[in-house]
Structure 1
Amino acid sequence: MFDPKKLLDDLLGSQVPGTTGTVRDKAGQAVQMAKDNPLAAGALAAVLLGTGTGRQVTGTAIKLGGLAAIGGLAYKAYQNYKAGNAPEQAPAAGQPELLPPPADTAFHPSQAPQGEDEFTLTLVRAMISAAKADGHVDDAEREKIAGKLKLAGVGSDAEKFLLAELDSPLDLDTLVAGAKTDEQRLELYTASRLTIDPDTRAERGYLDLLAGRLGLPDALVDHVEATVSAAKVAVPAGTAPNPRW
């Protein structure tokens, strides 16, 4: 069995033990090697492994590890929302580093009523669902994705889990039910927004639908949008596959 927290770290681009690069770096190399037949924008590996078009998570959020980063971003968005602050339209200069959520709040992984591992798997499933939001991944694309996962070295069990989730139909009822508290519902949405940049109607529609099903106020969603955007940077030229159209 794989370690759900390590898988989440890998998918968000954390350092791979025993290497000098990240999963994202390896996946980026794979895209360069296969640039004659690139993944379509929005395909699972391109999005989850950080090589898709748009922006990618960076900085302190990566250093924290996946679970703490998602919790920290959700907590920060919630605090700004409760304080009545206006969502920032761009990262502020000298912005303080992202911190993990306080241990005495329900945003901290140790407070998960269903256990850290189970909730982590829910977050991973949320990321996969978001990655699939812009359309069907056909057999050819799935084969390419499997190859990228092997190159990334996530492990055979984790690879099987990811590919099985990729093949599963969207089930928002089960996904939403996996979040047991208001804080977890906000973290689930934050993980989904971290995975994709809503550049298509399908992606924007999916995030809007998810926010509605999770019962998140529009103003709180706006704060998540601002907080996640501030944690991302533009993908360097040459590391992203060509768009589908």
Structure 2
Amino acid sequence: MNTLKLLDQLLKSGSSQSTSGQPASSSGGSALSGLSQMLSGKGGAALGGGALGLLLGSKKGRKLGGKVLTYGGLAALGVVAYKAYGNWQKNQQGAAQHEPQTIDRLPPPQAEQHGRAILAAVIAAAKADGHIDDRERELIDQEVAKFTRDQAFIQWVDAQIKAPLDPAQIAALASSEELAAEMYLASVLVIDEESYMERSYLEELVRQLRLSPSLVDELKRQAREAEQLCQS
């Protein structure tokens, strides 16, 4: 369950403080700022030392659904994807209908595997600006080792960090459209909307995930609706 615990903390940690230690603004922190904060040990976070925050540099992150996803964590990510996918599916004329299998509705073994694909997407999105060198990788390895003693998991995270940035490889981890939708949502939270390199990465990821433009639009709509409910 290391993957799910780490993912949940990455998302939820954005709801308490900003990376500067100040309360999050009313627009809500992104998972990106939450990741940096969590890894610097603020807000009672599990990982200390700040090394994993090196993944993030000074990126600002997007705000799409940021508040509701950081408060709700991984479950909220699944709920938003579930509703968006379900609505989109109903509008596909002639398509077979099925209950969306998002991460909040899967049994633990399947959810863990599902979560790995999402975590891989988060790590890749965090690397999209090319920011991370060998020394930083070593520090990141050390911090992951503080989080868990599971050597297989530590090695897997290390491999994701060291792997060349390849949207096609990340997209290949999506075994279903629902998972692709969740990987997209998680990536959006980590991408800096002001960075051309990162926007380009996200656009290519969407293409490689083969997400329908109408599904992407529905995901954005559901994230914004959830955000509005959270703020009301």
Which structure has more RCO (C-alpha within 8 Å, separation ≥ 6)? Answer: 1
For the Cα contact (< 8 Å) 2:79–2:104, is it kept in 1?
no
In the alignment, structure 1 segments of 5+ residues that lack a partner are 16-21, 31-37, 85-102, 233-245
**Secondary structure at 2:102 match in 1:** coil
Aligned residues: 191
Higher helix share: 2
- The alpha-carbon deviation at position 58 of structure 1 amounts to 5.5
TM-score (norm 1): 0.60
Quick one: which of 174, 177, 180 aligns to 1:179?
174
Deviation at 1:9, TM superposition (A): 0.9
Counterparts of 1:46-195 in structure 2, within 5 Å, are: 46=56, 52-54=59-61, 59-66=67-74, 68-78=75-85, 104-111=99-106, 115-143=110-138, 145-146=140-141, 149=143, 153-157=146-150, 158-195=153-190
Taking structure 1 as reference, are residues 108 and 132 closer, same or farther at Cα in structure 2, changes over 3 Å only?
closer
1:212 maps to which of 207, 225, 229: 207
Distance change >3 Å, CA 54–CA 231, structure 1 → 2: farther
Name the SS for the 1:115 alignment partner.
helix
- Letter of the 1:13 partner, please give it: K
Q: Distance between the aligned counterparts of 1:146 and 1:108, measured in 2?
A: 26
Deviations 1:190-239 (A, max 9, x none): 1211222332111111111111111112233234345446777xxxxxxx
Q: Which amino acid aligns with 2:80?
A: L
Alignment partner, residue 39 of structure 2? 27
Quick check: 1:134–1:203 contact (8 Å CA) kept in 2?
Answer: yes
The CA distance in 1 between the partners of 2:141 and 2:103, in whole Å, is 32
| Counterpart AA for 1:70 | L
**So what's the TM-score if we normalise by structure 2?**
0.62
Which residue is 1:7 aligned to? Answer: 6
Distance in 2, matches of 1:203 and 1:229, equals 21
